[in-house]
């Protein structure tokens, strides 16, 4: 969770986070989103702000990956 709790400012993302999460397949981002939803549903005790930042981060990573693939002409 700590790796996804960076929030919506990509400039603050460090190399280890980018190495792990930037460039995943879209289905892998969907799995991350489902995992976050499961954490919320099961009440694992994460603060709402932490979960919100994680969701935002996953969405931004998806968008950044799409842009990278478009610029490289990769689908």
Return the CA Rg of the chain: 13
> Does 6 map to a domain?
yes
> Does 24 map to a domain?
yes
> Does 75 map to a domain?
no
Q: Which residue has the tokens 């879209």?
A: 26
> Does 18 map to a domain?
yes
Domain extent for 32: 2-68
> Does 74 map to a domain?
no
Span 51-74, pLDDT tens digits? 999 999 999 999 999 999 999 987
Residues counted in the chain: 75
Give me 30's structure tokens: 């969907």
Span 12-50, pLDDT tens digits? 889 999 999 999 999 999 999 999 999 999 999 899 999
Give me 49's structure tokens: 């702000």
In Å, how far are 11, 23, 35, 57 from 27, measured between CA atoms? 25, 11, 12, 16
Distance CA 4, CA 56 (A): 9
> Does 73 map to a domain?
no
Q: What is the pTM of this model?
A: 0.89
Q: How many domains does the chain have?
A: 1
């Amino acid at each position: 969770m700590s790796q996804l709790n960076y929030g919506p400012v990509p400039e603050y993302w460090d190399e280890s986070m980018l190495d792990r999460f930037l460039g995943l397949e879209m289905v892998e981002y969907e799995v991350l989103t489902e995992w976050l939803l499961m954490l919320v549903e099961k009440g694992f005790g994460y603060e709402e702000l932490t979960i919100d930042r994680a969701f935002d981060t996953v969405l931004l990573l998806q968008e950044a990956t799409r842009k990278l693939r478009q610029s490289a002409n990769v689908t």
